[in-house]
Structure 1
């Protein structure tokens, strides 16, 4: 059954002009390295991107040479040529993106048009991690919140006490986000009565103290303000229909939004909301801060901010600058220039702007895929008939075949490798500690059937049985022919 699905996918992909490679590795419950291979291709009829899992392979190590060998083996089995590959999308590990012997470098040496993209989803996680790690206020607030969650969830008594308090406030609300510091104080006081371990009691007292400080409230509010934009970007980037060029544009929109927040008016609104929350939750007043002595030069007295708002305004701007710089640094990838040239070529042609520079960059790399003179002619046709492109038939689109080829190059380049990540979730369901000794072929076939549910449901069971019986003379003699 799994092989029938693979044959169907291979048959559909043969009609696609270009494709892109995606892969990722993980460790299963048997402590074996599993490599998942996926391919992004374009539907021949409507030029819509499709991302399909091709298989899961057990590998002895995760070196670049081993992974490249598995990729080549998969291409041979699926009857694909690397010369049709126009993109690669992996994580940022050294074995994948290494500049000398990484997987991306080895494939680029053989096919220079297979542009490498560092998975945007991984890049965003790294950018947020870098920003939080270097900004102490938000980092301390998140550490305190994590400590509170451990204190509550790892103790049945404290968890039961929390549940009792929560039901008295909002029984239908999950979690413990509804409690204010006053209620948390009740929880800590109840917990200290039956805690005998001095270390645990000290952690409870420390969490109780932190919840009453304005610094913690400011860190949580600022972290929520910043991380909600990154979380919204993360959800958008996980779409399998998203191309690399579209992903970069979405990232730039998020960065522009964060730049808008870096304004005195926006901070005043944030500060006003923070003061209302502080009054409502009975949090201590903000304390007057001074610049750390290590930053002061000379023998003058340390400089104090006139009001606490000035100090926290500086902290507010610093956090926004950190997240913006981290995102820009992680998403400034070498292949982005070519993505931008492909996109700007069509946009400038539609607007009537000069696109000669973009045309030269695109045709120099894709000289075997595009005819420069024909492409320029078809761009002129696109400019004159842009409003009618969506309504034209397939035959009429052949009039602008070079423009369609550029569009295919844009759409086939992946932005994220979330398909591989989702297959790892399926692996955890298929291979558990109670069922961790199945052979690799069975695991691979079960994974394909599970991931491609729609194709599995559409299989003809009679046809599957016929293939199973006809593959063996003994089975054919026992079961005979199926009609």
Structure 2
């Protein structure tokens, strides 16, 4: 029997020797097959994490045991992949629990690997751009923790377009200027971005950020003097509207009435009746009234439009509710009905007309592609448009539209012209008016002088004060870099900006002289430029010859307009950290938000490179990946 086994072994050895196989080769082949199977399994793990992260959906389940009915999106998605991939299913079934690589710590590592690979791309792009701007804002998440959103704005050298890219959510150790500045510096350092390349900073108007003595912007400028501070234009515009709403008596009363309407119609019984009336009146789309807020951009305009479009249904609902059996609802309906007069309708039309203009500006400012000069031009056009509304003809048109709306909805026209009364001479010294008293508006002329003119004048005053690049000596040089501006390539206009960013006057003069010749030749060849972006594209092939001028053009496009991208990142944060998802760590939260905000970059990552980076970073490897 032993001789038989020996002969079989000898025969098998001769066959293998004849084919040239060696034991070491067989071992290497087995090792290679094992690595391929392990990497195929890890592809399923990585793809499950990448998919859930890019979609912004929850990954972990409340109970992730094997016998749990719902183990969470990550485990369930991996199980679905296993049904179509035998290798993945084999590893899930046979690997020890500590070698399946589904633990939340391993998830954190893989998510961080993907996030860091994208951050490296951003770091390289910022380095190529040579200049960047930082945008920062802070907000509380669902767990009441203050989160700082850090975003960089720079010129992408490949696309020649300005982009704004999210970097990190960083928990705020403190809300004082020193703590916030330290967090910003730490975030930039962690991402490998050189602080000294910053040419601008943009925050909201909070004193801790914008303070000229010890605010974050001042601390930043002490380290990087060239980083000019720009107050977010979207926040500026919101401050203009809020100031008008609160500081003009007629406007304050009107918007308080809007809020009263919203509260009354938010009740379930009244709201159902309101929707029913809209159906009866053939409203194309059911519309709910909007809540007012001082911090939500353009919410005033949305609230006005909702009331104006549904005013017939509002009046019909109030008329039915004043006959309601419920005494409280009946009383409230009578109070609200008393506010629905011609004066309210007139203000509704006035503010809808004015705020439509500012709404257009608010929407445009939120684009990351906007540059400062374009924003200033837009602000000046809005100022001109509002100025043109301050006419008797426009007031007459508003009155006519209000009268027609009152007739269509059955609202009584109370403000009729009345005879002007005069106080007798001998009684003038005995009539006293209280200094805190606000006189009523009994006629249309009084409405015009106490409401129409004050509203427009207040808006114009605030817009002119808050929107002017000429107030900043550095920014006043931007028009000289715009081909459509009369001061295009004017040395005296651009010189303060050039000095601020370290450009010598001699070099600037020489380059301006040569670039005028270049533009003249291009114009003779039929090439014209109409914007800063076209000017930059034209100068790019000659950037080594016009080093300083190209630098100034790049900076002019890079300088920030708003911090709206920070607000958008907070919208992502609210989706990630909700009432049911509020226990994830700071690092995981930031990385998940980063992948959700950059889904195109995340999906473009090479999965083999992700696995290689994970294998190198993960010290305690239970399965061989390399």
Q: TM-score, normalised by structure 1?
A: 0.89
Q: CA deviation at 1:478?
A: 1.3
Q: Distance in 2 between matches of 1:116 and 1:43?
A: 22
Q: Is residue 235 from structure 1 mapped to residue 366 from structure 2 by the alignment?
A: no
Q: Is residue 205 from structure 1 mapped to residue 334 from structure 2 by the alignment?
A: yes
Q: CA deviation at 1:402?
A: 3.2
Between 465-474 and 411-420, the greater mean CA deviation after superposition: 465-474
Q: CA deviation at 1:378?
A: 3.8
Q: CA deviation at 1:115?
A: 0.8
- Answer whether contact 1:381 1:400 (CA < 8 A) is retained: no
Alignment of 1:323-362 (within 5 A): 323-332=459-468, 336-347=472-483, 355-362=490-497
Distance 1:203 1:251, change over 3 A: same
Q: Distance in 2 between matches of 1:187 and 1:22?
A: 47
Distance 1:41 1:161, change over 3 A: same
- Answer whether contact 1:118 1:333 (CA < 8 A) is retained: no
Distance 1:333 1:405, change over 3 A: closer
Q: CA deviation at 1:215?
A: 1.1
1:96 alignment partner, one of 209, 213, 225: 209
2:620 aligned counterpart, secondary structure? helix
Between 186-195 and 214-223, the greater mean CA deviation after superposition: 186-195
Distance 1:265 1:401, change over 3 A: farther
Between 466-475 and 365-374, the greater mean CA deviation after superposition: 365-374
Distance 1:12 1:183, change over 3 A: closer
Q: Distance in 2 between matches of 1:39 and 1:290?
A: 63
Higher RCO structure (Cα 8 Å, ≥6 apart): 1
Q: Is residue 365 from structure 1 mapped to residue 500 from structure 2 by the alignment?
A: yes
Q: Deviations over 1:120-158 (max 9, x none)?
A: 1111111100011122223222221221121111x2111
Q: Distance in 2 between matches of 1:55 and 1:457?
A: 19
Q: Is residue 403 from structure 1 mapped to residue 532 from structure 2 by the alignment?
A: no
Match of 1:122 in 2: 235
1:226 alignment partner, one of 334, 340, 354: 354
Distance 1:360 1:392, change over 3 A: closer
Q: CA deviation at 1:181?
A: 5.0
Match of 2:148 in 1: 35
Distance 1:385 1:19, change over 3 A: farther
1:274 alignment partner, one of 377, 402, 409: 402
- Answer whether contact 1:289 1:308 (CA < 8 A) is retained: yes
Q: Which runs of 4+ in 1 moved over 6 A?
A: 289-293
- List alignment gaps of at least 5 residues for structure 2: 1-113, 289-306, 433-438
Q: Deviations over 1:56-86 (max 9, x none)?
A: 0011221110111112112222332222111
Match of 1:448 in 2: 594
Q: Distance in 2 between matches of 1:76 and 1:183?
A: 56
Q: Distance in 2 between matches of 1:210 and 1:335?
A: 43
Q: Distance in 2 between matches of 1:351 and 1:156?
A: 59
Q: Deviations over 1:77-133 (max 9, x none)?
A: 233222211110000111101111100011112222211011011111111000111
Q: CA deviation at 1:221?
A: 1.2
Q: Distance in 2 between matches of 1:354 and 1:75?
A: 35
Distance 1:180 1:122, change over 3 A: closer
- Answer whether contact 2:134 2:200 (CA < 8 A) is retained: yes
Match of 1:162 in 2: 274
Q: CA deviation at 1:308?
A: 3.8
Alignment of 1:276-425 (within 5 A): 276-285=404-413, 286-288=415-417, 298-299=428-429, 308-314=443-449, 315-332=451-468, 336-347=472-483, 355-368=490-503, 371-381=507-517, 383-385=519-521, 387=523, 388=527, 390=534, 392=538, 394-396=540-542, 398-425=544-571
- List alignment gaps of at least 5 residues for structure 1: none
Match of 1:48 in 2: 161
2:613 aligned counterpart, secondary structure? helix
- Answer whether contact 2:491 2:509 (CA < 8 A) is retained: no
Q: Distance in 2 between matches of 1:450 and 1:248?
A: 33
- Answer whether contact 2:126 2:154 (CA < 8 A) is retained: yes
Q: Which has the larger radius of gyration?
A: 2
Q: Deviations over 1:185-224 (max 9, x none)?
A: 4444336523233xx543321111111x111111111111
Q: Is residue 195 from structure 1 mapped to residue 330 from structure 2 by the alignment?
A: no
Match of 1:479 in 2: 624
Match of 1:81 in 2: 194
Q: CA deviation at 1:11?
A: 1.3
1:474 aligned counterpart, secondary structure? coil
Q: TM-score, normalised by structure 2?
A: 0.69
Match of 2:262 in 1: 149
Q: Distance in 1 between matches of 2:503 and 2:192?
A: 21
Aligned length: 472
Distance 1:337 1:273, change over 3 A: farther
